[in-house]
């Protein structure tokens, strides 16, 4: 039995190594990237992350969008590849941060095997879209998938606007994105964590919704979809209770082209379709912040 496990592990490693060739156009096969469906977001996953968004070097993820002139940073950057691979932060001696011509604007939290990312690439060709995934093997699959698709479309230069990053958004989302940076967040078929004692691990909560409110600009949209009625009710309840969000009307929701993509292109969505299940969708708009009165109240004389 132990020998079989070692052989399977070796086959996976050999297969992945073969795909690392620069010009490989072969799409990866999921069977070589299988991993447990659930990951504990409170565990120490040995992730490296930037101390602030200004320390993040996105150039390895979006090389076609690197600005001609880089800027000097006051602190060392963290390469995107280092974050994805769980390697240590670069030496403090390196201070050149490669800036992009535009910011990442769309985040797919828990992107899984990348179905939504791949579908959004041609639908939003002028927008940088990032998939965030905590599982190592699944992140590697999406990375290899994007690499192969880019190689297949050298002339058309497709799929240059999407990338994947291994990260724990429950802990470190504000480390990657500035206030109001994002226009859209997708939360597609998240882990329902059915047991009451596990509800604190749900990706939608009072605390996390405040972080979404921080990184999403006013007018931006948070998209949610699940096949679990209880989880759908939970997400609606928590977003409705948050003062920074309002629910988008069903009419506007169904007119949004991203909703159709979200329903049909994710791997979980396709599985629900095969099983004749129901998909529950809810969108929430980021509201304008109330005006801040910085004048102290005057006491009556």
User: Which CATH number covers residue 144?
Assistant: 3.40.50.150
Ranges 5-9, 94-98, 243-247: which has the least confidence? 5-9
| pLDDT score at 14 | 58
Q: Is the pLDDT of residue 280 over 90?
A: yes
Q: Is 191 labeled as catalytic in the residue annotation?
A: yes
- On whether residue 30 sits in a domain, the answer given is no
- On whether residue 222 sits in a domain, the answer given is yes
Q: Which residue has the higher pLDDT, 76 or 35?
A: 35
| pLDDT score at 52 | 93
168 known member of a binding site? yes
Average pLDDT, the chain: 84
Q: On the CB side of 29, how many CA atoms lie within 13 Å of its CA?
A: 8
68 known member of a binding site? no
Single out the catalytic residue among 54, 85, 103, 191.
191
Q: Which residue has the higher pLDDT, 229 or 172?
A: 229
Point out which residues pair with 109 in neighbouring strands: 132, 187
CA atoms of 95 and 77, how far apart (whole Å) = 7
- On whether residue 41 sits in a domain, the answer given is no
- On whether residue 42 sits in a domain, the answer given is no
| pLDDT score at 92 | 39
Tally of structural domains, the chain: 1
Identify the band that residue 290 occupies on the pLDDT scale cut at 50, 70 and 90.
Answer: confident
- On whether residue 9 sits in a domain, the answer given is no
- On whether residue 7 sits in a domain, the answer given is no
CA atoms of 81 and 85, how far apart (whole Å) = 6
CA atoms of 91 and 209, how far apart (whole Å) = 34
- On whether residue 39 sits in a domain, the answer given is no
pLDDT, tens only, 234-277: 999 999 999 999 999 999 999 999 999 999 999 999 999 999 99
| pLDDT score at 69 | 65
Q: Is the pLDDT of residue 137 over 50?
A: yes
**127 in the Ramachandran plot: left (φ > 0), alpha (ψ -120 to 50) or beta?**
beta
- On whether residue 283 sits in a domain, the answer given is yes
Asked if 38 contacts 63 with a C-beta cutoff of 8 angstroms, the reply is no
| pLDDT score at 75 | 47
Q: Is the pLDDT of residue 138 over 80?
A: yes
The domain containing residue 162 runs over which residues?
50-70+85-287
CA atoms of 162 and 175, how far apart (whole Å) = 19
| pLDDT score at 48 | 77
133 known member of a binding site? yes
Between the alpha carbon of residue 226 and those of residues 64, 155, 283, the distances in Å are 34, 37, 12
3-state SS assignment for residue 219: strand
Q: Is the pLDDT of residue 115 over 90?
A: yes
161 known member of a binding site? no
155 known member of a binding site? no
Q: Is the pLDDT of residue 4 over 60?
A: no
- For the residues 128-157, what does the mean pLDDT come to? 93
């Amino acid at each position: 039995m132990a020998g079989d496990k070692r052989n399977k592990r070796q086959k996976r490693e050999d297969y992945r190594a073969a795909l690392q060739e620069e010009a490989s156009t072969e799409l990866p096969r999921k069977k070589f990237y299988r991993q447990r469906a659930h990951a504990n977001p409170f565990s120490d996953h040995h992730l490296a992350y930037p101390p602030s968004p200004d320390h993040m070097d996105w150039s390895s993820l979006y090389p076609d969008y690197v600005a001609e002139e880089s800027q000097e940073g006051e602190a060392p950057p963290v390469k995107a590849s280092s974050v994805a691979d769980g390697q240590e932060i670069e030496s403090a001696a390196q201070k050149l941060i490669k800036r992009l011509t535009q910011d990442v604007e769309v985040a797919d939290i828990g992107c899984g095997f990348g179905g939504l990312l791949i579908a959004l690439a041609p639908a939003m060709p002028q927008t940088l879209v990032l998939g965030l995934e905590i599982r190592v093997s699944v992140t590697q699959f999406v990375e290899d998938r994007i690499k192969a698709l880019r190689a297949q479309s050298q002339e058309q230069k497709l799929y240059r606007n999407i990338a994947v990053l291994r990260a724990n958004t429950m802990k470190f989302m504000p480390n990657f994105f500035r206030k109001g940076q994002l226009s859209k967040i997708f939360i597609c078929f998240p882990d329902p964590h059915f047991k009451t004692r596990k509800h604190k691990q749900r990706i939608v909560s009072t605390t996390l919704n405040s972080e979404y409110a921080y990184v999403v600009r006013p007018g931006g949209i948070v998209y949610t979809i699940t096949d679990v009625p209880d989880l759908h009710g939970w997400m609606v309840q928590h977003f409705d209770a948050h003062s920074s969000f309002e629910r988008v009307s069903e009419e506007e929701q169904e007119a949004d082209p991203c909703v159709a993509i979200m329903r049909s292109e994710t791997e979980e969505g396709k599985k629900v379709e095969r099983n004749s299940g129901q998909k529950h969708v809810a969108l929430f708009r980021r509201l304008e912040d109330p005006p801040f009165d910085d004048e102290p109240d005057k006491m009556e004389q």
